[in-house]
Structure 1
Amino acid sequence: MSRRGERGYGAAVTSAERPLLFLDVDGPLIPFGSSSAHAETAPADTSTSAERGNPLLQRLDPGVGARLTALGCRLVWATTWVEEANEVVAPLVGLPDLPVVQWPDSGVEEGPRGLHWKTRPLVEWADGRPFIWVDDEISAMDRQWVAAGHPGPSLLHHVDPSKGLLAADFSALAEWLRAVAP
């Protein structure tokens, strides 16, 4: 789904500014729908104790890491899994260790009603650089807040949490990247 109305769509980015891609785990990588989609390809015999403790990890697509890497973005974990994303998820999807957004402690200044608690820290982390945020909890308020407070191009891409990242999602991400960072 194209976001031609997103702030910065179509604005060229210099080659030194490789866009960031903030990536959530639950929903985009681990879909909440049927578990049959990726269960056949999950490496059951090499699972760690952490993996055996979370049966949802069988829903991970082991090829998604290569597809994400092929986008050419600087990948960053933006998930409550924090460091466990590198320890548990990354090896199962074919990603190296990635930087991890460290979330602020509770008691941080609240934003407008409906603003996701991740939005402000992600904009701060991006620090004006172009970014994509892939999550299943993005709202219109998040889009408004980013458009008003982030000077660079941005794409807030909502993923259907029952299906996870699909070919259509990768097409939308690639289309935005071609327009922003040809």
Structure 2
Amino acid sequence: MTDDARPLLFLDVDGTLLPFGGPGMLPQPRPGPPAPGTPRPELDLIDPELGPLLLDLGCDVVWATAWMGDANVVIGPRAGLPTLPVADLPRYGAPDADEIGWKTRALVREAAGRPFVWVDDDISDADLAWIDREHPGPALAFRVESAVGLTAAGVAEIAAWLDALPEATFGRTVP
């Protein structure tokens, strides 16, 4: 199977692998890596079991985060992930005039018709509608609750969606 036959899994960090904002939690940090020397005790909340679960999905996992390449240094090792490619995202910003999030267009462009899963805590209904209109292949925009982040149960839901795709869609062999 060629790499371009595998689905992509675009993975956010803040609010997804790095939960925030719930009871007893720190407020939402500024997206992206902290300034050097800034303590980030919430990094200890990253579940090291998530990486292997995500890798077992049979997708090409790609960082889709304001952390950009710093996710490979700070987040990946804590989440049990190897060095991953980084999506070519625009500069972090607010949704545009159409209420489309700052990542959405870039991720659909990067997917280039391949099936994809986007795991993020900041996916709007406008993003969902735009993906549905503009992406020619299967896509799952998987919203997580930022106070909880991605869980093993969430990964199981993603696996079920992938398993429901026809094998011919991306060459994945379903056990």
Same topology, TM > 0.5: yes
Could you say if the C-alpha distance between residues 111 and 146 of structure 1 is closer, same or farther in structure 2, counting changes exceeding 3 Å?
farther
Count of aligned residue pairs for this structure pair: 155
8 Å CA contact 1:50–1:88 kept in 2: the answer is: no
Query: Which letter maps to 1:152?
Result: G
1:77 to 63, 79, 83: 63
In the alignment, is residue 23 of structure 1 matched against residue 17 of structure 2?
Answer: no
Gap change, CA 1:129 and 1:84, over 3 Å in 2 = same
What is the distance in 2 between the residues matched to 1:72 and 1:157? 17
Q: Which residue of 2 aligns with 1:66?
A: 52
Q: What is the DSSP-based 3-state SS (H/G/I as helix, E as strand, rest coil) of the residue aligned with 2:140?
A: strand
Q: What residue identity is the alignment partner of 2:87? A: V
Give the gaps of 5 or more residues in structure 1.
1-13, 37-48
Supply the distance in 2 between the matched residues of 1:174 and 1:106 (Cα, whole angstroms): 29
User: Percent of pairs identical after alignment?
Assistant: 48
**Contact 2:72-2:83 at 8 Å conserved across structures:** yes
Q: Which runs of 5+ in 2 are unaligned?
A: 26-34, 168-173
CA contact (8 A) 2:115 2:137 kept: yes
Alpha carbons 1:51, 1:57 under 8 Å: kept: no
Cα-Cα RMSD: 2.6
* Secondary structure at the counterpart of residue 89 of structure 1: helix
Structure 1 stretches of 4+ with a deviation exceeding 4 A read 49-52
Question: Deviation of residue 16 (structure 1)?
Answer: 5.9
Higher RCO structure, 1 or 2 (CA under 8 Å, sep 6+):
1
CA distance in 2, matches of 1:106, 1:89: 18
